[in-house]
Every structure is written in C-alpha cells, then in structure tokens.
A and B are shown apart, each in its own frame.
Chain A
Amino acid sequence: MVSIKLVDISKTFGSIEALKNVNLEIHDGELFAILGPSGCGKTTLLRIIAGLEKPTKGRVYFDDIDVTNIPAEIRDVSMVFQFYALYPTTVFNNIALPLKSKGYSKIDIEKRVKEIAELVGIDKALKLHVDKLNVADKQKVALARAMAKEPRVYLFDEPLTILDPVTRVIMRSELKKLQQKLKQTIIYVTHDQIEALTLADRIAVMNFGVIEQVGTSWDVYNLPDTTFVGWFLGEPGMNFIEVAVDRDDLSIKIGSKKIFRDPRVGKKLLDLGLDKVLLGFRAENVVLVREALDVNAFNNITIDGVIRVIEFFGTHYVVNIEIEGFEFKVKLNVSEFNKLMLSENSKINALVKADKVCFFNLDNNRRIL
C-alpha cells in the first residue's frame, strides 16, 4: 500500500514528446484510472511508475521516497497486462513462483497460494494446467500471481480488454469488490471510457501527453475542465457552439440569434473580459419541442434550428441540428422521437436547462463556468 506522487514528469522519445510536465497524486488504497485515446501517453506514464521507463525530467515518489532511479525489478510493483503471460505449468505453480523467489517455506507457500486463489476465485482450479483455463480464468491467474508478489502497488494495463462483454462486467465487479476488501493502490490504464467511469475512484483524462483533468467519474463527465474531456467522454461527446455576449442587453447569441436571456451569465463573462466563448452541453440534456419557445425564460437556453441528419441506433436516435452554421447533436429515446415525428431538413426548437451548460474559453479551451 502506497501513495504515489509524480512531479513534473516529462518524457521524450527522440523528437516526440510523449509526456509533458505531468503532475499527479494517487492516494493510498485508491483505484485510479488513467484514461485517454491511443497515443496519449498513458502507457508511457504507467511504465514510468513501474520503473520500466526513466522520465526525461521529473521525479517519482512512493510514500515520499524518491524511486525515480530505482529499477523496476526492485521497485516492488506488479503489472497485469492485456495479454496474460502465464508460465506453461499448473495454476498453483504460476502463483507459487513469486513466493518461491521471495524465499517462503514450502508450507507457507501452500498456505499463501490457497488464500490468494480463494480471493480471486480460482481455488478450484489450482491443480489444472493453465492451458485448460478459459480466458477469464487465465486473467485471474495473472492477477493472483501479481498478488503473490505482495507488491506495494498494482499497475493494470487494460487487463480486461480481451474478455467478452459479460465476463468483463463480472470481472469488473469482482475486481472492485476485491479492491475494497484489500484496500490496495491500483493504477488502471485504459482507453475504454466505460471501464474507467465504472471502475475508478478517480480518473485522470489524458491527451497528447498532458493530463487534462483529474476527478471522479461524475466530475469528468458532467463538469469537464477542458473541451477535450467533454468531447472524449460520452457517446456522442459534448456539443460545443461558439457564442457571443451582447453588450447591450447581456444576452448570449449564436451569430445574430439570441439564445439565452439571463443577464447574470452575460455579465459574469464580460467581467472576465470575454465576449466570445464556447457553449458546451450534452446531447442527452437537450429537449426538443415543436411549439414556439418562450425566449424570455431565464432558466433555459433556447435554440431554433434545422434538422440535418437523423441517425438510428436501435435504443435511441441521434439528431444533428444546425443553427447559423454550427451543429449540435441531440440524443432522444425512441418514444420521444416517434412522438415528435422528426424528419431531415425540417425546423425544430431545442431547449437546454441553464444548469446543464458549461462555458469554455475560446483561446485555451478551458472551462470558465
């Protein structure tokens, strides 16, 4: 068990900057996910924590001990990979091997292996050769072997990706339960947002070697710090529309169309010296109506646009609406969609609750409100 601190970590490969000044604190006993698209540097970051890669700049601390120069072999971490690399022998021997090299006695090994196997739920398969196991059980053996090392921290590199969807859901639940019981620090790297949102206590969202945001699942989804986080999470990602503040009546406009009348927001933005910002909102928070909009209501953003593209996804529809050259997506369930009888190239009115929108700075794409 250990808390981890990364200070000003940078890593370059030749001329490529894989990590740019990463600062991160991972608490003791936390299940911490690092989420990002492929090539964002998340695996490099994990390898630096493991000691398999040396940072070009910056320090790594385990419980305030500087481990930057400690090689991976003695850093006391366990890694579990996407593809389990098991020894071609029995389950028991696989789990026992790290214990043997730690110098445990035969009786102790027997006892420990049984304990661990019970915890991960493969105690009935101990005598089997690993070739006889299914994918999920193989991954459990890999996990058990990692646990036998009794590491200070577990590093997971997309260990569940190869499982089928149902097994993956069950394994996630089991992993979470195990973690709550053992209170181990786990760092979990994934490109799958559902995995991160479902599993993690906290998530770091990465892009191009930079940490864009660190927060709980709810935070990163509902209050993204940057437009990237908003776009990356959710399917579809957050909508962004360039809006301006009217200096006369402090309303918010898309092009020449006024969409929001609450002067408090307009004033706040102008006070920050911003008369042009990005409006962000999620597709499922939009309500479509046929009737005329109450343009004077303060609690709603009101947009009247034209439907451009309708996409059917079985459980829901996604409708693309255009206004003044900008487009945004609306997610509707099937009954709502059928009620409205929408068709492409027809007019429609959209409402977004004022507390469901965010505003972003146009220059640095960071959230303001």
Chain B
Amino acid sequence: MRKRNQYTTPLILYRVRKSLKFALLIALLMIYLIPIYGMFSLAFKPRAEIYSGLFELTRITLENFEEAYRYGAYSAITNSIIVTVGGVSIALILAVLASYAFSRFAIKGKNILMFYILSTRMMPPITLIIPIFIMFFNIGLKGTYLGLILVYAMMSIPLSIWMIKSFIDDIPKDIDQAALVDGHSTMFILFKIIIPMVIPGIAASAAFAAIMLWNEFLFALLLSGVDTKPTSVLLSSIRGERGFNWGRVAAIEVVYILPIIVLVFWLQKYMLRGLTFGTVRR
C-alpha cells in the first residue's frame, strides 16, 4: 500500500469518473453491435432452434449455409462480384485519366464540366430507370452482365473523378514541372509519377464505389436476368416453402456482408482521407 499524499483523493475521484464514462460508452456501442450479433447468431443456429431466442447460441451448425448454397446463393455472390469488379474497373480507368486532365490541363469551362459530372449523381436514379430499361431491352443488354456493368460504371464515375482529382490536386505542380525539365513525356509523368502517388486515392474511390455497387438494388432488380441476379436481388426474393426461412436469409447475409467488412478494415485509412477529399493527411 502506497503512502497517502496530496494525490490520493484526486486520483480516486479521477478513476471513478473515468469508469463511469467507460460504462456509458459500452452501453452506446451495444446499440450498434447487438443487431449484427443477432444476424450471426441466426445464421449459425440449428433450424429447430430459430424461434428459441435470438441470443442463445447453444450449438453451432452450418446447415443454414448448406441450405443457402442449394438455394442459389453461390451464383448470386459470384454475380455480385462480377458486376461490382467490372463496374469499378471501368469507372477507375476513365476517372484517373479524366481527373488528371481536370487537375492539370487548362480546359475551357472546366468548372462547369466538373459540376455537370457531379450533377448526374444528384438525379434520383428512379427517373432514369425506365428509359434505360427500354434502351437495354431493345439492344439486347437487358439481363447481361455487360448491361449492368455499364450502368454501374456510369454511377461510379462522378464521385471517383472528384475524389481522385482532389488527390491529384494535392500533388504540387512542381513535381510535374520537375519531370518536364528532366525531359519526360506527359504519358511518362502520368503513369510513372502521378499514378503511383495517388494509389491511396484510387484505392479509396474504388472502395466507395465497390460498396455502393455491392449494395445496389434498384438497377439490379430491373436489368439483371435469372442467371445474372446479384445477391441484393436474391435476398429480396427469398420466400420459404413454409413461411420465411430466417436461418437461410441470415446465412446469405453473413456471406454478403463479409467482403464489405474486410474491404473497410483493409482500406479504412485511405477511405478516411477519401471522405475528406484528400485534405486530411495520413
């Protein structure tokens, strides 16, 4: 036991205050975590115990996952991956080229053009759905991967351009000029110097676009076919033979949510910078 000194009483008070704050934080955190726990719990629960209480997990089983596989979840997840990766890839290639031009070249009406590109995202998507549906139906893109990928690329480009441009803007123009004095070409400057420096920005906008497309429902519902149906559409159409099969739904949800969780944890520091459009330094 330490000797009593002038710090003894304040220290006790300090610790009490600190513990109370901590307890409050835990309580708040629970509000967010409990539903997620519930989903995992349902997914791993035997079918017979589904209605026995959400939080009691006495026995872990994979039968819900087997059921989900039989139901076609595997191909739905694959479809989700194909359309997401396809959409993000096309969007990024175009966005990188466009944002370098917007950042570095003197283009007439640059600001208006930049705003126009962003404004395409302000329109409610539902207003576009009918013309696109008719267009795709007539040229045979309805129900194909390519159709959905093209729409997804269009949806992701505006934000990607804005985000990547803000990262390129952060690179001092002196670096481009130094390369010019050295005698390098514009292509060399873009691919060997600028792009390697904005990898974090590209990663961030890829992550945001991927999350948006992965969760997209409206276009997927109308433009995908039986074989190209992504997970979001599948989940909405699940109905059991006898009532709702909660275990199956939860199992698909778990598989559906995991890539996003991994992506967010993996890229979180880049995404944070992306959210602030490059203004917060690493």
Q: Mark each residue of chain B from 189 to 230: 1 if its CB lies under 8 Å from any CB of chain A, else 0.
A: 000000000000000000000000000000000000000000
Bound state CA distance, A67 and B10, in angstroms?
A: 12
- Verify if A70 is at the interface (C-beta below 8 Å from B): yes
Digit string of A46-73 for contact with B (CB within 8 Å is 1, else 0)?
0000000000000000000111001101
Does B244 count as interface, using CB distance less than 8 angstroms?
no
* A74 interface residue per 8 A CB criterion: yes
Question: How far, in whole Å, are A70 and B12 apart by their CA atoms in the complex?
Answer: 11
Chain A residues whose C-beta falls within 8 Å of the C-beta of B2 in the assembled complex: 66
A contacts, CB < 8 Å to B: 65-67, 70-71, 73-75
Whether the Cβ atoms of A73 and B7 lie closer than 8 Å is no
B5 touches A65 (CB 8 A): yes
Whether B14 and A67, one on each chain, are in contact in the complex, defined by CB atoms closer than 8 angstroms, is no
List, in ascending order, chain A residues with CB within 8 A of B6's CB.
Answer: 65
**B11 on interface, CB distance cutoff 8 Å:** yes
B10 pairs with A74, CB closer than 8 A: yes
- Closest-by-CB residue of B relative to A73 is B14
Task: Determine the chain B residues whose CB is within 8 A of the CB of A66 once the complex forms.
Answer: 2
Task: Name the distance in Å between A184's Cβ and chain B's nearest Cβ.
Answer: 18
Task: Return A154 CB to nearest CB of chain B, in Å.
Answer: 18
A-B contact pairs, 14 of them (CB 8 A): A65-B5, A65-B6, A65-B7, A66-B2, A67-B7, A70-B7, A70-B11, A71-B14, A73-B14, A74-B7, A74-B10, A74-B11, A74-B14, A75-B7
- How close is B165's CB to chain A, nearest CB, in angstroms? 32
Residue of A nearest to B17 (CB): A73
Chain A residues whose C-beta falls within 8 Å of the C-beta of B11 in the assembled complex = 70, 74
A75 — which chain B residues lie within 8 A by C-beta? 7
Residue in A closest to B10 when the chains form the complex, CB atoms: A74
Cα-based distance from A288 to B136 in the complex (angstroms)? 91
CB distance from B10 to the nearest CB of A (A): 4
A interface footprint on B1-37 (CB within 8 Å = 1, 0 otherwise)? 0100111001100100000000000000000000000
Nearest to B5 among chain A residues (CB) is: A65
A70 cross-chain contacts in B, Cβ below 8 A: 7, 11
CA distance A98 to B10 in the complex (A): 16
Q: What's the Cα separation between A65 and B11 when bound, in Å?
A: 14
Q: What is the CB-to-nearest-CB distance from A54 to chain B, in angstroms, rounded to a whole number?
A: 15
Separation of A65 and B5 alpha carbons in the complex (Å): 8
Closest 4 pairs between A and B when the two form their complex, measured CB to CB: A74-B10, A65-B5, A70-B7, A74-B14
In the complex, residue of chain A having the shortest beta-carbon distance to the beta carbon of B6? A65
**In the complex, what distance in Å separates the CA atom of A75 from the CA atom of B6?**
10
**Candidate in B2, B5, B7, B10 with the most chain A CB atoms within 10 angstroms:** B7
Give the complex CA separation of A70 and B10 in angstroms.
9
Taking CB as reference atom, which chain B residue is nearest A75? B7
B117 to chain A, nearest CB (A): 39
A73 and B7 alpha carbons, distance in the complex (Å): 11
Bound Cα distance A75, B7 (Å): 8
A71-B10 Cα distance, complex, nearest whole Å: 10
